[in-house]
Amino acid sequence: MDGIVKGLEEGREIPVFTDRVITPGYVVDIAAATRHLVESTATPGVYHCTNAGATRWTEIAGELASLLGVEARLKLVASDQVALKASRPVYSALSVEKLAAAGFRMPDWRDALRRWLAMRVAPHAEVSAQP
């Protein structure tokens, strides 16, 4: 994300995947979810601790540009046009339904992105999730 933000701030064209669907995760939210699972009576098992909502990199870059108040100059790239070090699925979104059933609702990725960006600008500020 830092690379996208820096490129947007500098007015550069940013290459972003058009076809990769992901569920971003903000470490502050992931840590809170993990703590909840450890301290609660949640059923043991595998939980996906990512922010809520699936999205594409194009949407993330567009949201960042909007939050920064800059034009999103995006170079749209398909996954098959890039040689990555490791093979990655085009659709890798995760569900947070099991986590919600265990009593922890993850904030939407847009809210997490807003808080991450605010923290990036003012690292010692406390930015809480919005319901």
Q: List pLDDT tens digits, range 50-68.
A: 999 999 999 999 999 999 9
Helices (H), the chain: 2-10, 27-39, 57-68, 97-101, 109-121
Pair of tokens at residue 73: 């100059």
Domain 2-81+88-121: give its CATH code: 3.40.50.720
Write down the domain spans for the chain.
Answer: 2-81+88-121
CA distance 68 to 59: 14
CA neighbor of 82 nearest in space, from 40, 19, 131: 19
Give this prediction's pTM: 0.87
Residue 75 confidence (pLDDT) above 50:
yes
Q: Are strands 14-17 and 74-77 parallel, antiparallel or unpaired?
A: parallel
pLDDT confidence bin for 121, thresholds 50/70/90: confident
Chain centre distance of CA 123:
18
pLDDT confidence bin for 128, thresholds 50/70/90: low
Q: List pLDDT tens digits, range 86-115.
A: 888 999 999 999 999 999 999 999 999 999
